[in-house]
């Protein structure tokens, strides 16, 4: 399939004040797209907006909690009011968690579902009429943790697995409307300083520096996301380890169980 250009397209990227979302916004803008960036922290989002504008890119920043219907609706409405159309929606916003299931407070379970699942569903629902008119793209940013449930991050895995079901359903439901649906499974990625995860009691933990763990850079992930949009691909698993994980789950599920059971304490130590 021939590649499409992003030149002149309007892209909405959730969770784009840092990390993968910021890198994706930068890459799209560098290729001529108009970008709408989003986050919940105003000062960080403003810094990203200024950084993009100083480079000469067309950008709109919208502070909104898109895990709520009101926040997601406002994000999409501001994109339409400012640029007049939406061609690309990147559902990137999300949060990881820590803790064995039996230890996790109920409010943490609800918060994770709200952020990682509703934070994708609400923007997608609001953007669909506009994406239909432009034959646009919806991309869900998932994780290799959404391929197989893992100890210590079970609720995070569950929310990322849910995105697969949504993407698969939408691909079929929207097949007659020329809307591209894609889902990318991201491996361990370098994190910005200050990146946090939700602990089992609802408090926040600073994520450890991952540079020594054979990570991808946000820029590498951004390139994969933009390539997916241009080629209108459906599923993409990043990193060799991620691909091996997916293959092993199909061919050797009992072996995967055994390895994870033997490794669960080591995994827990890595996550704390």
Instruction: Point out the residues that are catalytic.
Output: 156
CA 135 vs. chain centroid, Å, equals: 21
DSSP code of 256? H
* 259: number of Cβ within 10 Å: 12
Integer angstrom CA distances of residue 166 from 124, 210, 243: 10, 30, 21
Rounded Cα distance, 208 and 204, in Å: 12
Cα–Cα dist 22/94, whole Å: 13
If DSSP codes are grouped into helix, strand and coil, which group holds residue 89? strand
- Report how far residue 270's alpha carbon sits from residue 272's, in angstroms, rounded to the nearest whole number: 6
Residue 221 Cα to chain centre, angstroms:
10
- DSSP for 192-217, written as a single string: -TT-EEE-TTS-EEEPPP-TTS-PBP
């Amino acid at each position: 399939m021939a590649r499409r250009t992003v030149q002149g397209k309007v892209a909405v990227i959730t969770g784009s004040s840092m990390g993968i979302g910021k890198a994706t916004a930068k890459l799209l803008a560098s290729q001529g797209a108009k970008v709408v960036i989003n986050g919940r922290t105003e000062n960080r989002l403003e810094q990203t907006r200024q950084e993009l504008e100083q480079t000469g890119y067309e950008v709109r920043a919208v502070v909104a909690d898109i895990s709520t219907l009101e926040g997601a609706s406002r994000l999409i409405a501001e994109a339409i009011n400012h640029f007049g159309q939406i061609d690309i929606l990147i559902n990137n916003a999300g949060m990881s968690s820590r803790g064995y299931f039996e230890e996790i407070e109920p409010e943490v379970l609800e918060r994770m579902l709200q952020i990682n699942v509703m934070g994708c569903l609400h923007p997608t629902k609001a953007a669909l009429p506009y994406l239909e008119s432009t034959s646009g793209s919806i991309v869900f940013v998932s994780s290799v943790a959404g391929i197989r449930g893992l100890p210590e991050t079970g609720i995070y895995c569950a929310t990322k697995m849910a995105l697969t079901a949504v993407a698969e359903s939408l691909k079929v439901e929207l097949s007659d409307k020329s809307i591209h649906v894609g889902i990318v499974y991201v491996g361990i990625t370098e994190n910005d300083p200050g990146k946090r995860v939700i602990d089992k009691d609802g408090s926040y933990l600073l994520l450890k520096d991952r540079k020594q763990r054979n990570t991808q850079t946000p820029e590498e992930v951004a390139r994969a996301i933009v390539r997916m949009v241009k080629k209108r691909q459906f599923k993409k698993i990043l990193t060799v380890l991620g691909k091996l994980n997916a293959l092993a789950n199909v061919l050797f599920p009992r072996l995967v169980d055994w390895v994870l059971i033997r490794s669960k304490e080591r995994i827990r130590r890595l996550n704390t």
